[in-house]
Amino acid sequence: MGRATVLCVVGLSAAAGLFAAQQPDLSRLAGRIEAAMRDLEAPAVAIAVVAGDQVIYEKAFGYRDRERRLPATVETSFYIASSTKSFTALAARLLAADGKLNLDAPLDKVLPMLRLPPPLAAERLALRDLLAHRLGFENDAVIHRTAYSGDFTDAEIWALMARSRVQPRVFSYGNLGYVLTGYAIERAAQKSWKRVLAERVFAPAGMQRTTCFPSETRECRSRSLTSGTVRRCGRFRSRPTGRCTRPAACSRASVTSPGGCW
């Protein structure tokens, strides 16, 4: 299907008072978006401009499926990639407020199955360190399996974690801390991290079209994509990394890439 759909959702917001004096001139906005798409080789973009609590402009550009010439619409589900991390962190904080998860407890109390190579020790770290990207270790094998291939079991992940690579304990952006946070959320809530986000974050916020389950996206439910893509919807395991679960999925529509949400 070629480069079918890439996440590129743009939101512009402003306080209501900003536009009280005059309506913004959006006449050149479409041309600028189209030029940016050409420069970035982006197949699809959806944009909304919000003034106060009113949507004053919304438009989709490009194609959700280039081969079949299916245009993107304002209803198209876009893969939000690492924006999933923000929702995951919020879910962890909500569980902490419930008294079910302690963000500052030694990590070995929160994830007793976690083993780290010396001189690292799980009891010297906390979930807050994972959320702030100050781990002090990295593990490419875990990232690859949880974010790209989807080929893993929980037991394999914990065995791989024991062979993590030590690095300076300073800020270093990555997926690994959120993979582990996802496990902590599941252990605390006794349900999948996807279900926790659905119930504790998306539903209360009225985000009715946001989901971490690819099978629940509008495209999968309506079977508006190719049959081969639809058959894959919801099949892959994932952790809340905000990445495509397998490289092939990135060249198809984003609904096949359950490493994050839509």
Question: Largest Cα–Cα distance in the chain?
Answer: 63
Phi/psi at 252 (5° precision):
-105, -165
Strand partners, 9: 46
Q: Supply the pLDDT for residue 249.
A: 31
Q: In the numeric block, which tokens belong to residue 142?
A: 């875990």
Q: What is the per-residue pLDDT for 135? A: 94
Closest to 10 in 3D by CA, of 41, 40, 47: 47
The predicted structure's pLDDT at residue 221:
57
Confidence (pLDDT) at 64? 87
3-state secondary structure of 175: coil
R_g (Cα) of the chain, nearest Å:
20
Closest CA to 172 of 131, 125, 135: 135
Give tens-digit pLDDT for 36-67.
Answer: 999 999 999 999 998 888 899 999 999 988 88
What is the pLDDT, as a whole number, of residue 242? 46
pLDDT at position 23: 72
Residue located via tokens 């970035």: 40
- Check residue 241 and give its pLDDT: 54
The domain ranges of the chain are 1-76, 79-262
Spell out, as residue ranges, where the chain has pLDDT lower than 70. Answer: 1-22, 218-259
Q: Tell me, what's the pLDDT at 201? A: 95
Return the bridge partners of 51, or none: 14, 54
Provide the pLDDT for residue 147: 81
Q: In whole angstroms, give the CA distance from residue 256 to residue 37.
A: 23
Q: Which CATH architecture describes the domain 79-262?
A: 3-Layer(aba) Sandwich (3.40)
Residue burial 101-114, b: 16+ Cβ < 10 Å; e: rest: bbbeeebbebbeeb
So what's the pLDDT on residue 10?
43
